[in-house]
Amino acid sequence: MLSGTGRTPRILVVGSGWRFLSGISYYTCRLSNALHDRYEVGAILMRRLLPARLYPGRDRVGRSLTDLRYDPDVRVFDGVDWWAVPSLLRAVRFLRRFSPDVLVLQWWTGAVLHSYLVLALAARKRGIRVIVEFHEVQDTGEARHRWAARYVRRCIRPLLRRTDGVVVHSRFDQVALAEAYDLGAVPAEVALHGPFDHHLPDRPVREPGDDVCRLLFFGTIRPYKGLEDLVEAFADLGPNYHLTVVGETWEGWTGPGRMIEESPVRDRIEFVNRYVADAEVNEFFAHADVVVLPYRRSSASGPLHIAMSHGLPVVVTAVGGLVEAAEHYSGTVFVAAAAPGELREAIVRAAGLAGRRHADPSSWGRTVDAYARLLTRIGVAQDPPVDSATSSNQTLPLLSPDLR
């Protein structure tokens, strides 16, 4: 209940829409649906993030690739375009009509900064609290461009001055955020990433008695993803290993693709070089024995959470927030980053964990608990008693996801 009013608090979530589909699109939907279990929730979607020709996945913009849907009782405004007029003005009117107690801004790219600042100004003018949930300080591709990095560093400060609370996915991110921006006494909560269990298939598709260990790399192919380390390590594995690489190339990072084509074991590598629809995601993970994520850096990983929802062994580098995300998962084998030899050995160890389902420790209930604590700290709501011990796989998403 909202303190002193006797009504349930209203939360308005702002994040990526479906047109420029990414892991944040999935996350925004799953978070909104999870919060709806306890609060009144609305959502504003960022519809057109930037001119499509500038987007790495420009060829699929606007295509229907997901079956995930918002709960019918979550009011959705879809959405805001990068050129703002008239969509941003309509979003402000939607905010006023919905009249939330809290505005929650999903942060992952500087492309939304000008829109977020307008929404935050409109919210604060009406006494609405503002929370920013950081998926990372800034997108790595943007940060490589001096002008983009400078724009975010300078223009995010007016937004942060109007921020009442911050949510991050790990203590690692909390430290990184504090180093990047002086947030002073702004309350912060760590909310571990909830499960991506909307990618579960209806039936098992593996053939019994198959002695081939099938490895899966899934996600966008970018400089920090470390796919080249996996391709090198895989060449030294025996003939009973097969590798499937599924991902869309971003930032012109074509080196791993060339390595695959030139690999001496090319006949044991399947390369699906595109962003795949949800139904295909289900099949790729259902066919896999081990998921390998050799990131060289990362704050969070949607593919990691899809793998854990499937109960698969996962080889993941001990970098960034991935340690906290996977440290309590029995199927995890951690490995050092940028070390193909150690990666090969870790894959062999993980193969020994295949053949049984590992329990996913993540939970959207715990994510909502973290939000409840933060709302209490910023004076919005009493922290209600909850039982968060429920298995993550008992949280049923609506079916009709780096973060790829």
Q: Which residues form the domain of 253?
A: 197-352
**Full DSSP string of 78-140:** EEEETT-TTHHHHHHHHHHHH--SEEEEEE--GGGHHHHHHHHHHHHHTT-EEEEEES-SS-H
Statement to judge: residues 367 and 348 lie in one domain: no
User: Are residues 218 and 180 both part of a single domain?
Assistant: no
Asked if 229 and 185 sit in the same domain, the reply is no
Q: Distance (Å, rounded) from C-alpha 336 to C-alpha 179?
A: 24
Residue 259 and residue 243 in contact, taking contact as beta carbons nearer than 8 Å: no
**Does any domain span residue 117?**
yes
Looking at the structure, tell me whether residues 121 and 157 fall in a common domain.
yes
Domain for residue 18, yes or no? yes
Residues 84, 87, 88, CA angle at the centre, nearest 5°? 60
3-state helix, strand, coil in the chain (%, to 5): 40, 20, 45
The b/e string for 276-300 (b: 16+ C-beta within 10 A; e otherwise) is bebeebbebbbbbbbbbbbbbbbbb
259 & 331 share domain: yes
The confidence score (pLDDT) of residue 205 equals 53
| Contacts by 90-93, CB closer than 8 A, 24 or more apart | 91/44, 91/115, 91/119, 92/118, 92/119, 92/122
Residue 388 maps to a domain: no
Q: What is the CATH number of the domain that holds 56?
A: 3.40.50.2000
Q: List the one residue out of 115, 110, 107 whose CA is nearest residue 146.
A: 110
Beta bridge partners of 78: 45
Q: Is 399 inside any structural domain?
A: no
pLDDT in tens, 28-69: 999 999 999 999 999 999 999 999 999 999 999 999 999 999
Are 235 and 99 members of one domain?
A: no
Across the beta sheet with 290-293, the strand order is: 269-272, 241-246, 213-218, 290-293, 314-317, 332-335
- 394 inside domain: no
Structure tokens that stand for 185 in this block: 């006494």
pLDDT at 299: 86
Q: How far apart are CA 61 and CA 317, in angstroms?
A: 31
Residue 391 is predicted with a pLDDT of: 38
- Domain assignment present for residue 392? The answer is no
Q: What is the pLDDT of residue 252?
A: 92
Whole-prediction pTM value?
0.91
pLDDT digits (tens, 9 = 90+) for 166-182: 999 999 999 999 998 98
Whole-number pLDDT of residue 396: 34
Are residues 15 and 138 both part of a single domain? yes
Q: What is the pLDDT of residue 207?
A: 58
Residue 248 phi/psi, 5-degree rounding, is -95, 135
Residue 401: per-residue pLDDT? 34
Amino acid at 342: E
Count how many domains the chain has.
2
Q: Are residues 172 and 37 in the same domain?
A: yes
Residue 291 Cα to chain centre, angstroms = 17
Examine residue 398 and state whether it is found in any structural domain, yes or no. no
Q: Within 10 Å of residue 81's Cβ, how many Cβ atoms? A: 17
- Hey, what are 81's tokens? 């375009």
Residue 135 located in a structural domain: yes
- Model pLDDT, residue 140: 74
Containing 358, the helix (H) or strand (E) segment is none
Same domain for 176 and 210, yes or no, is no
Instruction: Using alpha carbons, list the distances in angstroms from residue 159 to 2, 117, 123, 166, 312.
Output: 25, 6, 12, 12, 40
Does 221 share its domain with 312? yes
Task: State residue 182's pLDDT score.
Answer: 86
Do 190 and 207 sit in the same domain of this protein? no
Q: Pull the structure tokens for residue 6.
A: 């006797």
Are 182 and 202 found together in one domain? no
Ranges of residues in the chain whose predicted pLDDT is under 50: 1, 383, 385-402
Of the chain, the percentage scoring pLDDT greater than 90 comes to 80
